[in-house]
Chain A
């Protein structure tokens, strides 16, 4: 999660009125911009994003292209309010826009942030090739990374490819070129590209579906439903991936519960991501509820030796602060053992484990009636871990409870 200051350059030339992207190119661009904004701020809350227009803004006949609309900020509201008010006019002036973005990045407040420019280009490029290469070399010298998203316009593709190769040079300074053909869904296409996914593959955080109407549900209108749908999709996916098999995690250093949660999270991040390859989602970025669901699912997969591991994990987590590290360590210990079961909610068989999990849940009183009743249910119906009938009930109880707590 590197510290980054990003300037997003929006193409607001007349070509943006085109309707080949739904509903218009401009709108698709706006969606994509908000996507990138969220991705950057979630990956690191100290990241800053600014906005800049690339095309000329005719006011009293003086050309105003490359106007910085919003300075580098982490405030969502500022960027969005200006974004939606952008007029569509003029012609693209790529080089000038990039140069102004460069200047703006030079004056950024976070001097230790890595500068990055994300450019959207949706109109034909008219540029002097010499100037173009000079610009690329300059950006490379100043170590500014640049991502170019070309959408709806194929003519300038080779020029941009050259641009990117010049900038990347011998070592890959992670500059990318993404071409989106007409008619595709711009935000969706970008999600799978390296623009959103940072180098360690942390990927898109939850809470934001690619297109606003994923699963037929708008995440803004009904975030809980959207999240529930997303969880079940991911469970499916995880079940499938579990069958592919997991590599062992190289031994995790004993996590000292008193260390900074952030560093332990990062450590786990690294191992989880490198080792499994299943986790294409950054565990830290799931909400707590989803983490619990994820953890339960993972522990369910390791049928047999569940108890001892749970006991260890319990002791480790006894004095760790917060659900976060609890879940992290659960997933960690689960990863260490290689188990492949498909049955769900085996871990709920262990009442102690369940109690622990519930205790750490915010807002759940372990001694409350409902919880006790549920735990008794777990006690009762099984002497043996393999009884699964009521487990599903429990699971739905627990999930229902969790949903109630929200």
Chain B
């Protein structure tokens, strides 16, 4: 499987991150990814942010507003029925311990949910995204199977219309 992330998603995530940064919340932000799956290629075309909170010291304590999720998703479905919930994102920059349990919550909406970590403040050149999918791992020593994340190849792709938009943006950025 491959994950193709559209530029709109990157823009939304970064905007979300900056929004939260402005009100002083420098923790990570979490949101839902929308898209479609065709021929083993996952197209992530849209996203939206979710109210999310977790304790600094105790990462096990977290809260995600799933009613907000459902309401927002219903509204997005009215705009484009083909976009389904395909996973979720957060701004990392790395994996956290409670990502597995948050993933479980999203899996109630889509069993093959994908986690994409979008690094909103990348230090070096390269892809800002990393995609993971949860798999059950069977230990050799017979202890009960646990879930971990497995890495998926990801890339940035766009439709023609989106490419035009991105080009315009780049031109503006270069001019400044």
Contacts and interface: CB of A to CB of B under 8 A. Distances in A.
B144 A61 contact: yes
Report which residue of B63, B66, B146 has the largest number of chain A beta carbons within 10 angstroms of its beta carbon.
B63
A71 B63 CA distance: 11
Interface stretch (A100-108, A118-126, A170-178, A354-362): A100-108
Nearest to A65: B60
A64 B58 CA distance: 14
A385 interface: no
B63 A64 contact: no
Nearest to A96: B61
Contacts of A64: 101, 104
A215 interface: no
6 contacts: A60-B136, A62-B101, A71-B65, A103-B54, A103-B61, A107-B51
A68 B144 CA distance: 26
B71 to A, nearest CB: 10
Interface string B61-72: 111011110000
B143 to A, nearest CB: 10
Interface of B is mostly: mixed
Contacts of A68: 63, 66
A99 interface: yes
A103 B55 contact: yes
A107 B147 contact: no
Contact of B60 (A96, A106, A107): A96
A107 B66 CA distance: 12
B170 interface: no
A99 B56 CA distance: 12
A103 B63 contact: yes
Interface residues of A, number: 18
A99 B60 CA distance: 10
A63 B53 contact: no
A306 interface: no
Contacts, number: 47
Interface in A341-392: none
Interface of A: 59-64, 66, 68, 70-71, 73, 96, 99-100, 103-104, 106-107
Contacts of B101: 62-64
B145 interface: yes
B100 interface: yes
A62 B63 contact: no
Given A107-B63, A107-B65, A61 B51 contact: no
B53 A103 contact: yes
Interface in B78-105: 100-101, 104
Report which residue of A66, A71, A73, A106 has the largest number of chain B beta carbons within 10 angstroms of its beta carbon.
A71
B67 to A, nearest CB: 4
A260 to B, nearest CB: 33
Contacts of B104: 59-60, 62, 64
A360 B86 CA distance: 60
Nearest to A131: B58
B63 A104 contact: yes
Given A63-B101, A66-B61, A100-B61, A106 B53 contact: yes
B144 to A, nearest CB: 5
A99 B61 contact: yes
A181 B54 CA distance: 36
Nearest to B146: A61
Contacts of A66: 61
A107 B50 CA distance: 11
B67 A99 contact: no
A62 B62 CA distance: 14
Report which residue of A63, A73, A100 has the largest number of chain B beta carbons within 10 angstroms of its beta carbon.
A100
- Top 10 closest A-B pairs, CB basis? A103-B63, A71-B67, A99-B61, A103-B53, A62-B101, A107-B51, A104-B63, A62-B100, A61-B144, A100-B63
Given A99-B58, A103-B62, A107-B65, A61 B147 contact: yes
A68 B67 CA distance: 10
B69 to A, nearest CB: 10
A109 B98 CA distance: 25
B42 to A, nearest CB: 22
